[in-house]
Chains A and B, each alone.
Chain A
Amino acid sequence: MSRTSERVQQRAAWGFLAPALILIGSFFFVPILAGLVMSFTDFDIYSIGRPDTIRFVGLSNYHQVLTSSEFWHAMRNTGFFVGVGGPLSVLTSLVAALLVNSKLARWKSFFRTVYFTPVVTTMVAVAIVWRYLLHTRYGLINAGLGALHLPAVDWLGDPHWAMPAIILLSVWKNFGYNMLIFIAGLQAIPEELYEAAELDGAGSVARFRHVTLPSLAPTFLFVGVMTMIGQFQIFAEPYVMTQGGPLRSTVTVVLLMYEQGFRWWRMGLATSMAFVLFAVTLVATAIQLRLQGGRR
């Protein structure tokens, strides 16, 4: 009885899996493999009109990407976003989680919902709103700075401030998501640990350092890695707010890829850029895992 049942299950399983696997196989894995192949060719605008002019060029696209000053400029911009925006975002999420989860806090679910609201909003819509908020003269942000007697900043016109402006938008939009994950992590810390620490005479700061933080370490790692991976792929914010400007200071790797691929139709080059970014993301993830998760 169990053997026929298993065979039946086996057949049924493939039937259940078929739609998902076919879709994921055809529209996710196949394009990625095709992209890999394409990255070894010089597929470009000439190729579209005349496919017989496509040439196999080996690693030449990768060489071009890795020796291109434009690419490294974009990589630096992306790196700045990840290196500054990442910790800022994670920190904001942690602070929000600690505040909302605090034993003294009331109306927890209200605040939790409010802080999460930006996450569900459409990026294009909020990028447009923020473009106006960041306006040098008519924007609320500079009005706020003025109320604090701080000088106005040309957020979207000054190459030094444009990326920070995008970081600001990104932190606002995403901190709610990681906040929830931190809350889940905080709630998983057993009460007994805190009670034991209190019995040992630890004040609240010490309890935070010795109970909360270590217990949160895996959550930190998870949040850190996921945030970083997502941030490497930033596209919509610079596309809508600055088009990569001013002076290409907000061109990120994915934006550059979009330009090369869909504006100039250098698809061989653009796909190789995508794989280089993927490799960089993997390396960065590995490094972060080693640094943070090492002590296991």
Chain B
Amino acid sequence: MRRLVPSLLLHAALVAGAALTLTPLVWMVSASFMPSGAANAVPPPFLPAHVTFRHYIELFTHLNLARTFGNSLFITVTATLASTVINAMAGYAFAKLRFGGRERLFQVLMGALVIPAQVGMMPLFLMVKGIGLVNTPWAVMIPSLASIFGIFLIRQFALAIPDDLLDAARIDGASEFEIFLRIVLPVLAPILVTLATFTFLSTWNDFMWPLIVLSDDAKYTLPVALANLSGEHVQDTELMMAGSVLTVLPVLVLFLAMQRSYIRGVMMGSVKG
């Protein structure tokens, strides 16, 4: 009985917090279904009086957001697949393969985590221009293909693989690559899923770099196209909300599907090795 009041208060606070957190997102979805101009009312409506799909239709027809969605999807999926493999190989090497300079090299990489990405953005743009990849999806992928944080995460997880397991396979005559493929990857599977989710989310949501590197609206990713639209259609609240829903929906769905894995990854990432 003594616990009832504190428990009620606690849950009231939790629910209030949840409501405040979700309100912007719920309003975003709700407004996307309102007829044009309905959201600009005093007081602002929370639910649509009449539901309309017009804005979504306009996004896909007149504004060609399907193509933009496709661009984002192609770039994100490709970068996620490639980077997961690349980071896994490097992370495993740092954890389990013995070679000279291993610890020092790893420390250099960790130290580099402090450097903000923007420092190199301008020269990187000129580099990308030099190799003729400006305004292509490959240019957008470049910064996402290998990630120091990803390597760190994999290494953390891979450290737990028992050495005897690997040595036994070596004695049996397996090559390092076969060991990686047959023994290590299956063991790393959970963290690979986590890392892939991380990479998908961050690549999908990336804004500043695609903004810089893409100049053709046929090649835009969703965040860039959305920012572009918002410059022109400031007055069209409901249309912009529909665009936002379209951009946020895939990552939200992915997150909800993978939440356990993803959340565990975040919490793991905070544990310093």
How far apart are the CA atoms of A270 and B251 in the complex, in Å? 33
Asked if A8 and B176 sit within 8 Å, CB to CB, the answer is yes
Asked if B187 CB lies within 8 Å of chain A CBs, one says no
Asked if A118 and B25 sit within 8 Å, CB to CB, the answer is yes
Asked if B49 CB lies within 8 Å of chain A CBs, one says no
Asked if B98 and A9 sit within 8 Å, CB to CB, the answer is yes
Asked if B244 and A128 sit within 8 Å, CB to CB, the answer is yes
Asked if A57 CB lies within 8 Å of chain B CBs, one says no
Asked if A82 CB lies within 8 Å of chain B CBs, one says no
Asked if A267 and B270 sit within 8 Å, CB to CB, the answer is no
Asked if B17 and A115 sit within 8 Å, CB to CB, the answer is yes
Asked if A27 and B124 sit within 8 Å, CB to CB, the answer is yes
Segment among B53-61, B63-71, B252-260 that sits at the interface with chain A: B252-260
Type the 1/0 row for B104-132, where 1 means its CB is closer than 8 Å to any CB of A: 00000100101111111111101100000
Most buried by B among A30, A125, A239: A125
Q: A16-B90, A35-B120, A99-B13 are in contact. Are A10 and B112 (CB under 8 A)?
A: no
Asked if A133 and B18 sit within 8 Å, CB to CB, the answer is no
Task: Name the distance in Å between B262's Cβ and chain A's nearest Cβ.
Answer: 8
Task: Name the distance in Å between A92's Cβ and chain B's nearest Cβ.
Answer: 9
Type the 1/0 row for A77-110, where 1 means its CB is closer than 8 Å to any CB of B: 0000000000000000000100110101110010
Task: List the B side residues contacting A137 at CB < 8 Å.
Answer: 42
Task: List the A side residues contacting B142 at CB < 8 Å.
Answer: 23, 27
Determine which of B115, B180, B263 lies in contact with A32 in the assembled complex, contact meaning CB atoms within 8 Å.
B115
How far apart are the CA atoms of A133 and B244 in the complex, in Å? 14
Asked if A277 and B116 sit within 8 Å, CB to CB, the answer is yes
How far apart are the CA atoms of A19 and B142 in the complex, in Å? 12
Determine the residue in chain B with the shortest Cβ distance to A19.
B86
Give the residues from 87 to 109 in chain B that come closer than 8 angstroms, CB to CB, to chain A: 87, 89-90, 92-94, 97-100, 102, 109
Give the residues from 143 to 170 in chain B that come closer than 8 angstroms, CB to CB, to chain A: 143, 145-146, 148, 151, 170
Task: List the B side residues contacting A29 at CB < 8 Å.
Answer: 112
Asked if B44 and A16 sit within 8 Å, CB to CB, the answer is no
Task: List the B side residues contacting A118 at CB < 8 Å.
Answer: 21, 24-25
Asked if A216 CB lies within 8 Å of chain B CBs, one says no
For chain B, what secondary structure do more than half of its interface residues adopt (helix, strand, loop), or is it mixed? helix
Q: A122-B251, A282-B114 are in contact. Are A20 and B87 (CB under 8 A)?
A: yes
Determine which of B11, B93, B266 lies in contact with A16 in the assembled complex, contact meaning CB atoms within 8 Å.
B93
Task: List the A side residues contacting B183 at CB < 8 Å.
Answer: none
Asked if B23 CB lies within 8 Å of chain A CBs, one says yes
- What number of B residues sit within 8 Å (CB to CB) of A? 95
Give the residues from 101 to 148 in chain A that come closer than 8 angstroms, CB to CB, to chain B: 102, 104-106, 109, 111-118, 120-126, 128-133, 135, 137-140, 143, 146
Asked if A96 and B17 sit within 8 Å, CB to CB, the answer is yes
Asked if A155 CB lies within 8 Å of chain B CBs, one says no
Q: A16-B180, A261-B122 are in contact. Are A27 and B42 (CB under 8 A)?
A: no
Asked if A105 and B11 sit within 8 Å, CB to CB, the answer is yes
Q: A13-B99, A28-B112 are in contact. Are A114 and B22 (CB under 8 A)?
A: yes
Segment among A66-74, A178-186, A192-200 that sits at the interface with chain B: A178-186
Determine which of A5, A31, A184 lies in contact with B267 in the assembled complex, contact meaning CB atoms within 8 Å.
A184
Determine the residue in chain A with the shortest Cβ distance to B268.
A184
Asked if B18 and A278 sit within 8 Å, CB to CB, the answer is no
Task: List the A side residues contacting B43 at CB < 8 Å.
Answer: 143, 146
Asked if A184 and B248 sit within 8 Å, CB to CB, the answer is no
Task: Name the distance in Å between A40's Cβ and chain B's nearest Cβ.
Answer: 13
Give the residues from 26 to 45 in chain A that come closer than 8 angstroms, CB to CB, to chain B: 26-32, 34-35, 38
How far apart are the CA atoms of A23 and B151 in the complex, in Å? 13
Give the residues from 165 to 215 in chain A that come closer than 8 angstroms, CB to CB, to chain B: 172, 176-177, 180-181, 183-185
Asked if A254 and B251 sit within 8 Å, CB to CB, the answer is no
Task: List the A side residues contacting B3 at CB < 8 Å.
Answer: 104
Determine the residue in chain A with the shortest Cβ distance to B29.
A129
Asked if A14 and B99 sit within 8 Å, CB to CB, the answer is yes
Asked if B271 CB lies within 8 Å of chain A CBs, one says yes
Asked if A287 CB lies within 8 Å of chain B CBs, one says no
How far apart are the CA atoms of A96 and B122 in the complex, in Å? 39
Q: A117-B22, A181-B266, A219-B270 are in contact. Are A123 and B223 (CB under 8 A)?
A: yes
Task: List the B side residues contacting A65 at CB < 8 Å.
Answer: none
Asked if A35 and B123 sit within 8 Å, CB to CB, the answer is yes
Asked if A281 CB lies within 8 Å of chain B CBs, one says yes
Q: Can you give 13 contacting A-B residue pairs, CB < 8 Å?
A: A9-B98, A10-B98, A23-B86, A116-B259, A120-B252, A122-B205, A124-B226, A125-B244, A128-B226, A222-B272, A233-B116, A274-B119, A281-B116
Q: Sort A-B residue pairs by CB-CB distance and give the 7 closest, nearest first.
A: A31-B120, A12-B176, A20-B90, A34-B123, A125-B244, A13-B97, A23-B146
